[in-house]
């Protein structure tokens, strides 16, 4: 059984569909006068954020509180925390305080895996984004948004995204969102195409379960959803493209390009958006753009993940990679 959620690639198709179905029920709580469920009463969850985050941290906190968990927020920003021993010290401190689960965001790829498998801590670990590696709950909320918009709110229950054509555009190299989405969308049966300048396509992409294209205009008419990725300048240590203007002309989404998409197709963005860079204000503010919806869906999806991992005496989500689950 899976105790941790480290990577979207760890989820089976049935696990992912169960999470999406549960999220759909969680979404209905948002319409109630009392937006609270008792499922995690008496459980303490620590949000361990070594890296900046607005929506993911607040989203996790809202999800935890709606499930009645006790929440401890730990922001490591500004401290001289580096990988390795200090993560160990932090983990052991949390363990001593009796934390029941850890939600971790870390700048170093693999930090959540290390925390989950090192034996420093007994609690389940949920990856809230690590370096350029994975951000599984983002992929789940994206899949939830796609299923709602492309299949239907009730019609989607129990279904995956078979045959849906999803295009991810932009800074794939630095994007954990792209990696998680490729893994999960493939599991759910969607056909994924990455579009990026050659300098922002990672080495080894040919082993990923997706297509790669350098021509956005050719891919757009065949997409059910187009996800624009933020150009992550804080992770860039070299010149990946000549000018911002050239980047947005070739890989940015403006109104003219959006018109080439099929009528039903949606525009997604994990946020935060850089308006004028990968997406114009016209597109960002249009009806077809699901950015705000994705934020709301993030709370529902994270509630589902927390409930399924922590709500019972053992997790309800199975595991496919045996070497991860051996941490006790």
Partner 1 sequence: MDSHDTNEPDVARPVLEGPDIARVLTRIAHEIVERAKGAEDVVLLGIPTRGVFLARRLAEKLEEITGRSIPVGSLDITMYRDDLRMHPPRALARTEIPGDGIDGRLVVLVDDVLFSGRTIRAALDGLNDIGRPRAVQLAVLVDRGHRELPIRADYVGKNLPTSLRETVKVQLAEEDGRDAVLLGAKPASA
Residues that bind partner 1 (CB under 8 A): 1, 18, 21-22, 25-26, 28, 32-34, 36-39, 307-308, 311-316
Closest CA to 161 of 181, 134, 177, 136: 181
Helix count (H) and strand count (E) of the chain? 11, 9
Min CB(40)–partner 1 separation in Å: 9
Min CB(268)–partner 1 separation in Å: 26
Closest CA to 180 of 219, 149, 209, 220: 209
Min CB(9)–partner 1 separation in Å: 22
- The arrangement of strands across the sheet holding 125-130 comes to 70-75, 44-49, 101-106, 125-130
- Based on CB atoms, which residue is closest to partner 1, 140 or 172? 140
Sign for the pseudo-dihedral over CA of 32, 34, 37, 43: positive
Alpha helices in the chain (DSSP H): 13-29, 55-66, 85-96, 111-117, 136-150, 176-187, 216-219, 244-251, 255-258, 281-284, 291-310
Min CB(24)–partner 1 separation in Å: 9
- Based on CB atoms, which residue is closest to partner 1, 157 or 274? 157
Min CB(152)–partner 1 separation in Å: 15
Closest CA to 77 of 54, 98, 60: 54
- Based on CB atoms, which residue is closest to partner 1, 32 or 328? 32
């Amino acid at each position: 059984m899976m105790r941790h959620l480290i990577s979207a690639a760890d989820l089976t198709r049935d696990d992912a569909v169960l999470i999406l179905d549960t999220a759909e029920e969680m979404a209905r709580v948002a319409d109630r006068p009392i937006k609270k469920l008792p499922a995690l009463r008496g459980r303490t969850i620590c949000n361990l954020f070594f890296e900046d985050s607005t929506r993911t941290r607040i989203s996790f906190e809202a999800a935890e509180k709606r499930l009645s968990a006790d929440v401890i927020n730990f922001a490591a920003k500004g401290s001289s925390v580096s990988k390795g021993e200090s993560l160990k010290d932090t983990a052991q401190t949390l363990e001593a305080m009796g934390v029941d689960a850890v939600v971790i965001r870390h700048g170093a790829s693999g930090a959540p895996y290390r925390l989950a498998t090192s034996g420093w801590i007994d609690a389940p670990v949920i990856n809230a984004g690590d370096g350029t590696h994975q951000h599984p709950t983002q992929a789940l909320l994206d899949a939830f948004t796609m299923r709602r918009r492309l299949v239907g709110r009730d019609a989607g229950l129990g279904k995956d995204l078979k045959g849906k054509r999803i295009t991810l555009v932009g800074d794939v190299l630095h994007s954990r969102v792209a990696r998680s989405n490729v893994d999960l969308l493939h599991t759910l049966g969607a056909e994924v195409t990455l579009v990026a300048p050659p300098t922002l396509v990672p080495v080894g992409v040919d082993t990923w379960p997706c297509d790669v294209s350098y021509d956005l205009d050719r891919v757009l008419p065949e997409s059910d959803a187009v996800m624009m990725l933020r150009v992550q300048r804080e992770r860039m240590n070299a010149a990946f493209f000549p000018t911002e203007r050239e980047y947005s002309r070739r890989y940015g989404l403006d109104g003219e390009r959006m018109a080439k998409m099929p009528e039903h197709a949606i525009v997604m963005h994990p946020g935060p958006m850089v308006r004028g860079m990968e997406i114009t204000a016209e597109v960002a503010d249009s009806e077809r753009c699901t950015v705000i919806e994705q934020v709301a869906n993030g709370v529902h999806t994270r509630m589902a993940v927390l409930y399924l991992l922590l709500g019972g005496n053992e997790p309800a989500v199975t595991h496919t990679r045996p070497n991860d689950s051996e941490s006790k």
